[in-house]
């Protein structure tokens, strides 16, 4: 089942299935590692941008944009 990045709790991991943002933002996300099939682990998700780990590297994504990233839980 697809869920938003913002609904993953700290420590949960998911695979990106779709990004429903503008073209430019989507491309930026792709380039920084949110490509489909990448494994993404949430490190911090309380207020403000969500911080995720992609292969052990941290990326912060603004909350508004994080709502638009869809994943399946792993």
2-61: contacts with other proteins (CB under 8 A): 21, 23-33, 35-38, 43-44, 46-49, 51, 53-61
31: Cα within 13 Å, side-chain hemisphere = 6
Q: How far is the CB of 19 from other proteins (least distance, A)?
A: 8
The yes or no reply on residue 65 touching other proteins (CB under 8 A) is: yes
Q: How far is the CB of 7 from other proteins (least distance, A)?
A: 18
C-alpha span between 39 and 23 (Å, rounded) = 22
Binding site for other proteins (CB under 8 A): 21, 23-33, 35-38, 43-44, 46-49, 51, 53-62, 64-65
């Amino acid at each position: 089942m697809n869920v938003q990045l913002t609904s993953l709790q700290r420590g949960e991991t998911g695979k990106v299935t779709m990004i429903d943002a503008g073209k430019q933002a989507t491309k930026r996300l792709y380039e920084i590692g949110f490509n489909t099939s990448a494994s993404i682990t949430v490190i911090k998700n309380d207020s403000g941008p969500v911080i995720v780990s992609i292969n052990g590297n941290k990326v912060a994504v603004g909350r508004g944009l994080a709502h638009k990233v869809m994943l399946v839980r792993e």
